[in-house]
Amino acid sequence: MNFDNDDIQFDKLIVQEVAPRDGLQIEPTWVETADKIALIDQLSTAGFTRIEAGSFVSPKAIPALRDGEAVFTQIERRAGVIFVALVPNVKGAERALNAHADELNLVMSASQTHNRANMRMSCEASLVGFGDIVRLAKHFPVSLNATVATAFGCPFEGKIDEDRVVSIVDTYREMGIDGITLADTTGMANPRQVARLVKRVLQRVPAEALTLHFHNTRGLGLANVLAAYEVGARRFDAALGGLGGCPFAPGASGNICTEDLVNLCDEIGIPTGIDLPKLIALSRTLPALLGHDVPGQLMKAGRNCDVHPVPDYVRAI
């Protein structure tokens, strides 16, 4: 792809909004269930086709999301919007299915150490649990996605062997899990690595089933999106306001910011179907909701087209 070719028609880039899950899970301030539902209902009218609306993990591990059932059963369901639930094990899957999640997102790390830190079990034990979830899910109208966390690097182990990531993708697919997410859990990916690994994975997984999940920990989130898009990836996780981070990964910080990503796409000419002004307005409600500033940059700077008034001293020159 040549970004500098004026005549190019870009494919749609699908943004999966993950702020209600990856964004809120690390917040120390309790967000009321009604506020979570209102946030998700606002998001689902902004043009998203996929929203990760919560997780069904132990309330002891992630107290911020202990109200998953209430959230999933009370949000407004909208035609064309898939509501995804992160689940760590078969117990979580049962809860998510009871709450009518449209899709389950299973998570295992490529790094054994991070999987033990995050999931409190070995990768092998995680895969046994995935098998149970796949068997259970067959009886429900639900789709399955599985994430390879720390796919681009681990905060404990450092570099992750790319062959191992590809092999996990193959295992997921052989188990009957259609959707695959490659997650850069603590923002260690670089665009060259992303292009190389995504190219390999796209030989095994169709673009419509592959999601890239980047964090902006070292400032490379949007550069990584472009690198992945250029080699054929079309679906990306992002969080309103750039919220997020993994409570069990030291040094983790925010997801790539949804409105910053949509602005990039708007400026380049990549269609997303998402209402950017609505998103900016929603993002600007987050500091009051959470009690702190958020990393998103567009909600502070505004769009390029939001020009500033000319100061009086300039008019006088």
CB of 248 to a second copy, least distance (A): 8
| Structure tokens that stand for 173 in this block | 């697919």
* Of 26, 14, 29, 16, the residue nearest 243 (C-alpha): 26
CB of 174 to a second copy, least distance (A): 26
Q: What track of x and - describes contact with a second copy for positions 117 through 156 (by CB under 8 A)?
A: x--xxx------------------------------xxxx
What pairs with residue 105 in β-bridges? Answer: 86, 145
What pairs with residue 52 in β-bridges? Answer: 84
Is residue 246 among the annotated active site residues?
yes
Q: How far apart are the first and last CA of the chain?
A: 46
Contacts with a second copy in 248-277 (CB under 8 A)?
A: 250-251, 253, 257, 260, 263-264, 267-269
Q: Which member of 28, 79, 174, 307 binds a second copy (CB under 8 A)?
A: 307
CB of 273 to a second copy, least distance (A): 19
Backbone phi and psi for residue 195, each to the nearest 5 degrees, phi listed first: -60, -45
DSSP annotation of 21 reads I
**Considering the rule CB under 8 A, would residue 216 count as an interface residue with a second copy?**
yes
Q: Which member of 188, 209, 246, 279 binds a second copy (CB under 8 A)?
A: 188
Q: Is 8 helix (H, G, I), strand (E, B) or coil?
A: coil
**Considering the rule CB under 8 A, would residue 164 count as an interface residue with a second copy?**
no
Q: Distance between alpha carbon 54 and the CA centroid of its chain, in Å?
A: 11
| Structure tokens that stand for 130 in this block | 């995935």
Crossing angle of the two packed helices 123-137 and 112-119, in degrees rounded to 10: 60
Q: Is 258 helix (H, G, I), strand (E, B) or coil?
A: helix
CB of 20 to a second copy, least distance (A): 21
List of residues contacting a second copy (CB under 8 A): 2-4, 6, 113, 116-117, 120-122, 153-159, 186-188, 190-193, 195-196, 199, 216-223, 226-227, 231, 250-251, 253, 257, 260, 263-264, 267-269, 297-298, 300-302, 304-305, 307-311, 313-314, 317
Active site residues: 246
